[in-house]
Chains A and B, each alone.
Chain A
Amino acid sequence: MVNLAWWVVFLPLLAFLLISLVTRPHRKLSGWITILAVGASFVLSVAILLDMLARPGARESAWQWLSLGPVHVELGVLLDPLAAIMLVVVTLVSLLVQIYSTAYMGEDPGYSRYFAFMGLFTFSMLGLVVANNYLEMYVFWELVGLCSYLLIGFWYEKPSAAAAAKKAFVVTRFGDFGFLLAILLLFGHLGTFNFGEVAQGVADGRLPAAAVTAAALLVFFGAAGKSAQFPLHVWLPDAMEGPTPVSALIHAATMVAAGVYLVARTYGLFVSSAASLLVVAYIGGFTALFAATIAIAQSDIKRIVAYSTISQLGYMMMALGAGGFTAGVFHLMTHAFFKALLFLGAGSVILMYFHEQNIWRMGGLYRYMKITAITMIVAALANAGLFPFAGFFSKDEILVAVKESGHLGLYWIGAFTALLTAFYMFRLVFVVFFGPRSEFSPSGHEALPDIGNPRPAQVEAPGAGASGEPAVSAQARAEADKHLHESPAVVTLPLMILAFLSIVAGFWGWPGLSHGFGSFVFFSGAGAGGGAAAEAARAAHAAAGFDWPTVIVSNFFVLLGLLLAWVLYGRRRRAADPLAEILGPVFTVLEHKYYVDEFYLWFIRHFVDGGAAVLAWIDANIVNGIANGIGALLMGIGGLLRLFQNGWVQRYALIFFIAVLVLVAVLVYREPALTAAIVGGAR
């Protein structure tokens, strides 16, 4: 089975190479190559998962990559339940996204390039999943970052896309810096990169406590970069500048999943340091709430979903930080399904609706695209976490884990975030799919200005829209509506498959189920002794079944959020956000994402770019100036001396004559004694 894993990983790479080197001119063929390769990887992954279910355990195979004195780097494969699950999730989501992309990217001139990058992206993520050591993980980790860069900036001619791509790369690289330091720190103490050996070393106490905490926090810093945790979250919302299927892949199964996966993979470090767990839990909890509050005030359909991703990633981190290893990983899996679905659904709307993304230019679309609407509602319910959708089970597990860990503050943050989640998801659903069509509806493909969230006061003003654009006549709109229709089957089929998974995937985690998710993927602890204790705790947890208070609390909050959304948006008459009036200036702050981006931009402009400009000036004028100055000085001295060497015999004679005069004057008038000496010497 381990040998199969190599194929799972390298087939998509093969697709990338084949497309970029050979089949690039043949669009259709290129698309099929990636789909075929990822499809084959998916089938093999399922085989690996089934095998793993039958015979759980960790299997490893490795090949020496680089060996230099004490530094041994392996290119290896580590298969365990965690990796097996992730392989299936990644290949499945990727496969569905590729199929969907054949329609979404159908008209794009960069079709072949797109599928080549998608192959590379899938390869990188799969390599990350099966990596058996820290450095190999870092290698693929960076490659995942590279692919995100390439795909976010896929439409490189769009300035915003090019900027977003760079931002994603640089911000996550900031995190990578931490990850790399962690690797070096661990290697410095233990002399190995291997996950198992490092975990063993940590469990055996071969690392000082401070070093464990430092390493864990540095690893988490890297994970926070990729998984968009506060304060490194700023790149993810901008990442939607890429094609929508790319967003689906980034937000569901690849890029952002990598951070959570990293923490899960190196969990042995974290459990050995209570301080680091605490940091993970609180950063996660804070991020969950923070991003959810931003999501309620966004107007771009993809941006809402993007902040929802950050919030859900916060949940996962919170779970891991609270000791809920299984809960965090389970949420990673279920979230992959419904988040991919949300993005692909949003993409279906955008594709059909004149590439418009502002929800306030939509409304009442249910009529035209029922499949998209229904699957989106399923995804919204799953994301909100209502029983019995997938998100409910995983989020419930998280809340229970947090409760068991005793962080009651975090517990209530998590519960309240569930309310906000339901609220912003159904704000989106109501505004996009139900109610009247917006006054700002586009009537054609021409790009319209961004109107943000229209305020009720603006819209009530008769005659003009918020942006001052002339109201579209009813006739023109009716004409435009004739072009509205459901997306083609290659789009809706992946939606339906994902919707199905978003409904049923949670049942695998039914508490108390004898062969449930919790008995398959769990943290067994590293080293002797740790395993038994963890096993006992897990058994006790599994036997307990539902934690009824949590079930009631979370579902109550979800329903409350849903109700609030319906009150505010379900019955609206105009395309305006009543919440803006209710929250007043707070809403503006949320709309501007707490001005974090503005702060970073200010900092970079003044300190980084400014500092660079100052140093460049110093280098050009002072460091270089000194060099030129020395040159000028020598030239000057040379110029002076040249007066004595100009080849005119008369000048030489004059100098000679003057010198003699001076000499004589000195000798005669000042120093008679010296005169005597010299004259004497001459004799």
Chain B
Amino acid sequence: MSFPVLSTIVFAPLAGALVIACLPAARKEAIRWVAAVAAGVSFALSLWLVFAYNQAAGGVQFVENVPWFPSFGVSYHLGADGISVVMLLLTGIVGFTGVFVSWGIEERVKEFFITLLALMFAVSGVFASFDLLLLFIFFEFAVLPKFVLISVWGSTKKEYAAMKLALYLVLGSAFTLLGILSLYFVAGIHSMDLIQLANHPFTHGQQLWLFALVFLGFAVQVPVWPLHSWLPDAHVAAPSAGSMMLAGVVMKLGAYGILRVALTLFPQGAVYWAPVVAVLAVINVLYAAFVAMGQKDLKYLIANSSISHMGYAVLGIAALTLSGLSGAVLQMFAHGIMAALLFALVGMTYDRTHTRQIAEMGGLARVLPVIATAFVIAGLASVGLPGTASFWSEFLVFVGSFGIFRVLAILAIFCIVITAYYILKAVQRVYFGPIRVEKFQKLHDARWSDWVALSIIIVFIVGVGAYPSLLTDLIQTGLAPIMARLPESATAATAFGAGWLAWLGGAR
């Protein structure tokens, strides 16, 4: 067996956390560097995967498959297809830069980095798992560090937010677990292996309810309206690196789960429920955009805009076309790094001004030019401007869904105007204009650790914006098996009232 690259990616953060656990709490600088190295190993290897993955061969590569509970058909099965590679890269970027954004944390440094690395470990594990139970364990394990991050290092109603997050996510997991157990017994092949399960022919009826169950479980994490209300509170309460991980990676677990489990195993169910999912997605997009516009707190604004942006990913999934699904995966990546950047910047701004109220800031670009410039870039990425990764993901979602759900797609596309309005308004209020508060005259701009985080993320935003094929080719190979399993759609779509689709102005 060759070098276990995926295990290394997944366990490097955990190893780092263990090393930190052995260090005395007073050696803060050493702790930070250990965290940086551990996350850096994971990041570097995930970047290496992008180039090492053999696109011509496709499929699941770098497989490590060791039986775990053979009696239940559970195994330690790691692997990476095109989608996993992209998501692991996202985790690497956000985790690594998150360490640098947290460089200035002075309170309980040791525990903080242990928690952060544990979170990175858990989410990497989800993206690399090809065993359903293993995936679920990683998925569940991720809740714990999130809870701790928010309730210990958080702000604004942190206990409430942490508890709310935990309850919502565990509730979602309950559905997911129910779905996993159901499909395990329904399939009856004594295997939790995703690849074997994907080849099992579930009947049409089974697919309908199993898809609904698993989708509902993962939808909480996306989050899909109206299950979203844990998210703004949690994102706002979390410390910067926590928000980065939440918005950048954790939210993606939901959409990833839908793709990897619900859609892969139950394609007919996906086709059946697609119109409902699409409607929810567009509600997500528009509703959250307006809610974001109405916020007075900068972090709440960004959190709500994240919900809006994830709506695009869900719409892309609902379209069930190659471009729609590719757009959805790319949107997970593009939104992940862009949201991480935004939350990092909001945190940096807050650390300096000690306020997040939009109305209390103003003119900060003069004293914080680097942070302001980065915020403008992140904001433009949020707006989906060409030259940023988000443009391609949104465009692919639009191309993919325009032919299927015409009216819904138009509504979603209109949101590019709304997003531009509220993002630029926030930029204008916070960073432009004259400095309104005298004490802000003496703020200090980005430090070296901030520079590291900001420049890495911006390189990826602009890099993928200029050369999207770097990731879309990978994503395409990852989607090939899913596309191959999608049923001949015309017949399946009629199952759920052709009237639905027709009313939405769509056709399949």
A-to-B contact residues, CB < 8 Å:
64-71, 135, 138-140, 142-143, 146, 149, 153, 156-159, 161-163, 165-166, 169-170, 173-174, 176-177, 180-181, 184-185, 187-188, 608-609, 611-617, 619, 623-624, 627, 631
Residues 161-209 of B contacting A (Cβ, < 8 Å): 164, 167
Residues 56-85 of B contacting A (Cβ, < 8 Å): none
The reply to whether B386 and A188 form a contact with Cβ atoms under 8 Å apart is: no
The reply to whether B468 and A170 form a contact with Cβ atoms under 8 Å apart is: no
A376 nearest CB across to chain B (Å): 33
Among candidates B229, B295, B326, residue contacting A624 with C-beta atoms closer than 8 Å: B229
Among candidates B230, B323, B386, residue contacting A70 with C-beta atoms closer than 8 Å: B323
Among candidates A64, A66, A170, A180, residue contacting B420 with C-beta atoms closer than 8 Å: A170
The reply to whether A616 and B295 form a contact with Cβ atoms under 8 Å apart is: yes
Stretch of B132-140, B252-260, B421-429, B485-493 on the interface side: B421-429
The reply to whether A609 and B365 form a contact with Cβ atoms under 8 Å apart is: no
Q: Which of B226, B326, B421, B468: most chain A CB closer than 10 A?
A: B421
B494 nearest CB across to chain A (Å): 21
Across-interface contacts of A187 in B (CB, < 8 A): 399, 402
Across-interface contacts of B326 in A (CB, < 8 A): 68-69
* Interface residue B434 (Cβ < 8 Å from any Cβ of A): yes
* Interface residue B104 (Cβ < 8 Å from any Cβ of A): no
State the CA gap A180–B398 with chains docked (Å). Answer: 9
Also in contact, A146 and B468, with CB within 8 A (given A156-B365, A188-B403, A612-B294) = no
State the CA gap A181–B399 with chains docked (Å). Answer: 10
* Interface residue B414 (Cβ < 8 Å from any Cβ of A): yes
A264 nearest CB across to chain B (Å): 22
Across-interface contacts of A188 in B (CB, < 8 A): 402-403
Q: Closest residue to B288 on the A side, CB-wise?
A: A619
Among candidates B321, B366, B416, B432, residue contacting A180 with C-beta atoms closer than 8 Å: B416
Among candidates A142, A153, A159, A617, residue contacting B385 with C-beta atoms closer than 8 Å: A142
State the CA gap A603–B279 with chains docked (Å). Answer: 27
The reply to whether A627 and B413 form a contact with Cβ atoms under 8 Å apart is: no
The reply to whether A611 and B290 form a contact with Cβ atoms under 8 Å apart is: yes
Across-interface contacts of B343 in A (CB, < 8 A): none
Also in contact, A71 and B226, with CB within 8 A (given A66-B472, A156-B431, A157-B366) = no
Across-interface contacts of A68 in B (CB, < 8 A): 322-323, 326, 396, 472, 476
In the complex, 8 of the A-B residue pairs with CB atoms within 8 angstroms, ordered by the A residue number, are: A68-B322, A68-B396, A68-B472, A612-B291, A612-B422, A619-B304, A623-B226, A631-B167
Among candidates A66, A139, A140, A169, residue contacting B424 with C-beta atoms closer than 8 Å: A169
* Interface residue B363 (Cβ < 8 Å from any Cβ of A): yes
The reply to whether B365 and A615 form a contact with Cβ atoms under 8 Å apart is: no
State the CA gap A64–B409 with chains docked (Å). Answer: 26
State the CA gap A582–B321 with chains docked (Å). Answer: 65
Among candidates A161, A615, A617, A627, residue contacting B229 with C-beta atoms closer than 8 Å: A627
* Interface residue B469 (Cβ < 8 Å from any Cβ of A): yes
B-to-A contact residues, CB < 8 Å:
164, 167, 226, 228-230, 287, 290-295, 304, 321-323, 326, 363, 365-366, 380, 383, 385-387, 391-392, 395-396, 398-399, 402-403, 409-410, 413-414, 416-417, 420-422, 424-425, 427-428, 431-434, 468-469, 472-473, 476
The reply to whether B287 and A615 form a contact with Cβ atoms under 8 Å apart is: yes
The reply to whether A157 and B433 form a contact with Cβ atoms under 8 Å apart is: yes
The reply to whether B433 and A170 form a contact with Cβ atoms under 8 Å apart is: no
The reply to whether A139 and B396 form a contact with Cβ atoms under 8 Å apart is: no
Across-interface contacts of A162 in B (CB, < 8 A): 428, 432-433
State the CA gap A580–B36 with chains docked (Å). Answer: 70
Given contacts A159-B434, A169-B420, A174-B417, 8 further A-B contacts (CB under 8 A): A65-B468, A70-B323, A140-B386, A146-B385, A162-B428, A166-B424, A170-B420, A612-B293
Also in contact, A177 and B291, with CB within 8 A (given A166-B424, A187-B399, A623-B226) = no
State the CA gap A170–B419 with chains docked (Å). Answer: 9
Across-interface contacts of A165 in B (CB, < 8 A): 424, 428, 432
State the CA gap A162–B421 with chains docked (Å). Answer: 13
Across-interface contacts of A149 in B (CB, < 8 A): 424
Across-interface contacts of B294 in A (CB, < 8 A): 609, 612-617
Also in contact, A176 and B416, with CB within 8 A (given A139-B391, A166-B424, A181-B410) = yes
Across-interface contacts of B391 in A (CB, < 8 A): 139, 142
Among candidates B291, B409, B420, residue contacting A615 with C-beta atoms closer than 8 Å: B291
B454 nearest CB across to chain A (Å): 14
Q: Closest residue to B294 on the A side, CB-wise?
A: A616
Also in contact, A166 and B425, with CB within 8 A (given A157-B432, A177-B414, A180-B416) = yes
A206 nearest CB across to chain B (Å): 16
B220 nearest CB across to chain A (Å): 11
Q: Closest residue to B394 on the A side, CB-wise?
A: A180
B294 nearest CB across to chain A (Å): 3
State the CA gap A624–B234 with chains docked (Å). Answer: 13
Among candidates B291, B365, B387, B416, residue contacting A173 with C-beta atoms closer than 8 Å: B416
Across-interface contacts of A616 in B (CB, < 8 A): 290-291, 293-295
Across-interface contacts of B468 in A (CB, < 8 A): 65-66
